[in-house]
Structure 1
Amino acid sequence: MSTPLKHLISDIDLFSDGALHHPYALFRQLRDLGPAAYLSQQGLWFIGRYEEARTALGDWQTWSSAQGIGLNPVINEAWASALICTDPPVHTEQRKLFMDRLGPRQLKPLDATITQRAEELAERIVQMQTFDAVKDVAQDLPVNVIMDLIGWPEAVRGGLLELANGSFNACGPDNDRMRGALPQLDALMQFVSGIYDAGTLVPGGFGSTIADAAKRGDIPREAAIGLLVGYVVAAFDTTISAMTSGVMLFAQNPEQWDLLRADETLAAAAFNEILRMESPIQHFSRVATRDVDLGEGAVIQVGQRALISYASANRDERHFPYPERFDITRRPLDHLAFGLGNHGCAGQGLARLEGHAVFKALAKRVKRFELVGEPMRGFNNITRNCERVMVRAVC
């Protein structure tokens, strides 16, 4: 394969501690190089401009997931049966199992339950006054709702959350974080396999629907386990990250909280802006099935892997004016935090229900949030998260 043009090559390591802590200036540098930049540290392309990322996400024929979405062969082999690592027609049939349970009509009965739980959560926050946005808000409602929806047995729920935490590190390049996550991910796979084989998933839940499909022969056993593991990892990491980021952003931008408190109909727009500003999944990779000329000398050749960055695209000043500004009146309906096309996040409807309900409930009771110390960032190869964010609720 030919060498990328010199002006498109960058030695930025997006997976160093410093880059994971402060990625956005680096994303901008890479966007400024061209419609794609070549990361010499990892030997792959970076697509970080909005238009190019959106086009790639919507074109699975050109940008295939079937060779895996991770940046190392170990995870791509381990997740070969996972939904996120398949293309149509296999992907289409398996995704239907998700959408039959996670579409708007199917989620409607959960609305009242989620609202009630959000109100109870907000009451607890008022009583606590000082709280951890990660543990006391973000890990509360989303985890409980997802556990109920899938139908995990009560006895295994704590172990699942512990094993799922940080699993996306295994999708990164071959670094210490990736290697450290592999035993944990293997333990999670074995844990879920044991639950599946024991037949202890709660009848009527999303998990039992998948298990029943496998037992009928509609999908292989490995695919069923991959679906269950994939949904646990994605749902926990992404929803927890978005909730935490929302509290942090409102603490840092009190005038935006005042806007939401004055008009709760802004909750949907606010959640979209949170997702745009701090995209929970920063990027996944895909492989080109043909030569792709993106212009300005950026030619990605067949078989080459490209990192498609949702987080960078959502901060692209070519598409979003003043992208560093948190503005809940922006209404960025076209953000890419949930992906796009056939690999758009299957659980985004549930995440939105939860996010809207929590911030509406908090807005009724809390005048403002104040950070207590500096947020403690987590370092993950793929997700943007925090380990702890201490906050004071002023009521």
Structure 2
Amino acid sequence: MSAIPVPVSDVDLYTPEARADPYALYAELRALGPVVWLSRYGLYALPRYREVRAALVDWRTFSSARGVFVDPGMNEQLEGITLCSDPPEHTEMRAVLGRPLRQDRMRDVTPTIEAEAERIVAELVARGRFDAATELAEHLPMAVVSDLVGLPDRGRAKMLEWAAAMWDMQGPADERFARAAPVVEEFMDFVAHEAVPGRIAPDGWAAHLHEAADRGELAREKCPGLMLDYVTPSLDTTILAITNTIALFAAHPDQWDLLRADRTLIPHAINESLRLESPVPQFSRVLTEDHEIDGAVLPEGSRVALLYGSANRDERHYADPERFDITRRPSDHLAFGRGEHVCVGMHLARLEMGTLLDRLADRVSRFETVASTPMINNGLRGLERLDVAVRTAE
């Protein structure tokens, strides 16, 4: 039993309204305490920055090996993939998976990303109005990343649909979860039977996994599951991050003026956007032993949700956390995670975001949001549509 009772909340973080705008609920949870029992889902939640960061760097206590989603069945199915494993198995898989995504390897893809960014920005700005979600933000991940993964044509055409479905299964077994299940099954069948040597690009990331298996660095049966780690994190999260950033600059033109005047602010603008609008609002962990948080004892085997989206707006850690301020320099934000499970694709995401912002700053003096539609997804948060009008730079 807890030495100090854990506050209880029946908030539902998976209603359409909460998926679109969870921030009032996050503030409510932060006010309750550093740990809250979510009675609807039978798990604990950490809504504040200090406790989430501490959990992320303590993989021995907060384990990923029993899955990081909400639904028990889904967690059981995913055990053993990179996302749902701990060292040493996690370290071995990540070493193979992350090889083409290392920071030093970004030099190889930079010219392609820069050329594509220049082309798409020039085309869209010339039109004066476009959907920043589908026409701008999707372009680099789909034009460049899908090519780098090297899937057969049918796979490339379905990547976005498969990835969104996979994220929908991060939540409880609701209607979105049920609709996503057959789509995820289709993807798993594809990676097992079609995304195989002889049908994938011989120099792509997918082929790299199979080559590692040939060298004995990776068990052959791990290859299909590891494809999730190339398809899921490299698409939707980056697309949402780019879209969110444009929406923030449209709402805060003074911040866009600052960036245009000083391009060294681009990395800080990316961090501030990720802090304020985290594309992945949460993952969960399972406690490997009894664990005390602020006098409350959480029992071994408990599932604990780490609320990144709430932690990144914790007023205990960030001054005036609701404000978008690209001079804040919040490099300690948790949108990419921390510790052993820090996002393996973050260098690529930063490269794509930074290149687009730089090219847009050359050509755009103002963004104006015309219309927007929130994405309603169990594992993601952002906009699926963002119609913007742009004023061109002098």
Alignment TM-score > 0.5, same fold: yes
1:4, distance to aligned residue in structure 2 (A): 9.5
- RMSD of equivalent CA atoms: 1.6
Q: Which amino acid aligns with 1:317?
A: E
Task: Name the structure 2 match of 1:182.
Answer: 181
Match of 1:390 among 378, 382, 387: 387
SS where residue 284 of structure 2 aligns? Answer: strand
TM-score between the two structures when normalised by the length of structure 2 = 0.96
1:361-380 equivalent positions in 2, closer than 5 A: 361-373=359-371, 375-380=372-377
Answer yes or no: is 1:357 the counterpart of 2:355.
yes
Within 1, Cα distance between the matches of 2:221 and 2:74?
15
Contact preservation (8 Å) 1:171, 1:382: yes
Q: Which amino acid aligns with 1:318?
A: R
Task: Name the structure 2 match of 1:118.
Answer: 117
Within 2, Cα distance between the matches of 1:131 and 1:29?
36
Task: Name the structure 1 match of 2:140.
Answer: 141
Answer yes or no: is 1:46 the counterpart of 2:45.
yes
1:104, distance to aligned residue in structure 2 (A): 1.3
1:343, distance to aligned residue in structure 2 (A): 0.2
Contact preservation (8 Å) 1:196, 1:211: no
1:156, distance to aligned residue in structure 2 (A): 3.2
1:6, distance to aligned residue in structure 2 (A): 5.7
Structure 1 residues 194 and 299 mapped into 2: Cα distance closer, same or farther (>3 Å)? same
Answer yes or no: is 1:300 the counterpart of 2:337.
no
1:34, distance to aligned residue in structure 2 (A): 1.0
Within 1, Cα distance between the matches of 2:301 and 2:14?
23
SS where residue 367 of structure 1 aligns? Answer: strand
1:259, distance to aligned residue in structure 2 (A): 0.8
Within 2, Cα distance between the matches of 1:390 and 1:381?
23
Within 2, Cα distance between the matches of 1:357 and 1:126?
15
SS where residue 272 of structure 2 aligns? Answer: helix
Task: Name the structure 2 match of 1:336.
Answer: 334
Q: Which amino acid aligns with 2:373?
A: M
Contact preservation (8 Å) 1:4, 1:38: no
SS where residue 336 of structure 1 aligns? Answer: coil
Within 2, Cα distance between the matches of 1:116 and 1:17?
38
Q: Which amino acid aligns with 1:376?
A: T
Contact preservation (8 Å) 1:166, 1:237: no
Match of 1:325 among 315, 323, 326: 323
Task: Name the structure 1 match of 2:150.
Answer: 151
Q: Which amino acid aligns with 1:35?
A: P
Within 1, Cα distance between the matches of 2:198 and 2:64?
31
Contact preservation (8 Å) 1:81, 1:222: no
Structure 1 residues 196 and 153 mapped into 2: Cα distance closer, same or farther (>3 Å)? closer
1:152-167 equivalent positions in 2, closer than 5 A: 152-167=151-166
Q: How many residues are matched?
A: 392
1:7, distance to aligned residue in structure 2 (A): 5.9
Encode CA deviations 1:198-217: one digit per residue, 9 max, x unaligned.
Answer: 53221122211101223444
More deviation, 55-64/9-18: 9-18
Within 2, Cα distance between the matches of 1:133 and 1:167?
23
Within 1, Cα distance between the matches of 2:73 and 2:309?
25
Task: Name the structure 2 match of 1:57.
Answer: 56
Within 1, Cα distance between the matches of 2:290 and 2:184?
34
Task: Name the structure 2 match of 1:72.
Answer: 71
SS where residue 293 of structure 2 aligns? Answer: strand
1:1-20 equivalent positions in 2, closer than 5 A: 2=1, 8-20=7-19
Contact preservation (8 Å) 1:165, 1:236: no
More deviation, 56-65/208-217: 208-217
Answer yes or no: is 1:26 the counterpart of 2:25.
yes
Task: Name the structure 1 match of 2:196.
Answer: 197
Within 2, Cα distance between the matches of 1:43 and 1:66?
19
SS where residue 212 of structure 1 aligns? Answer: helix
Within 2, Cα distance between the matches of 1:16 and 1:93?
38
Within 2, Cα distance between the matches of 1:165 and 1:49?
27
Within 2, Cα distance between the matches of 1:4 and 1:388?
48
More deviation, 286-295/113-122: 113-122
1:187-266 equivalent positions in 2, closer than 5 A: 187-197=186-196, 199-266=198-265
SS where residue 105 of structure 1 aligns? Answer: helix
Contact preservation (8 Å) 2:74, 2:169: yes
Contact preservation (8 Å) 1:34, 1:298: no
TM-score between the two structures when normalised by the length of structure 1 = 0.96
Task: Name the structure 2 match of 1:172.
Answer: 171
In structure 2, runs of 5+ residues without a counterpart are none
Within 1, Cα distance between the matches of 2:346 and 2:194?
25
Encode CA deviations 1:189-245: one digit per residue, 9 max, x unaligned.
Answer: 111222233532211222111012234443233321111122201111110110110
Within 2, Cα distance between the matches of 1:292 and 1:347?
31
Within 1, Cα distance between the matches of 2:210 and 2:3?
46
Contact preservation (8 Å) 1:172, 1:381: yes
Match of 2:308 among 307, 310, 315: 310
Within 2, Cα distance between the matches of 1:45 and 1:323?
24
More deviation, 312-321/165-174: 165-174
Encode CA deviations 1:270-320: one digit per residue, 9 max, x unaligned.
Answer: 11111101111110000001111111x432110000000111110001111
Q: Which amino acid aligns with 2:125?
A: V
SS where residue 338 of structure 1 aligns? Answer: coil
Within 1, Cα distance between the matches of 2:255 and 2:80?
43
SS where residue 158 of structure 1 aligns? Answer: helix
Match of 1:381 among 359, 366, 378: 378
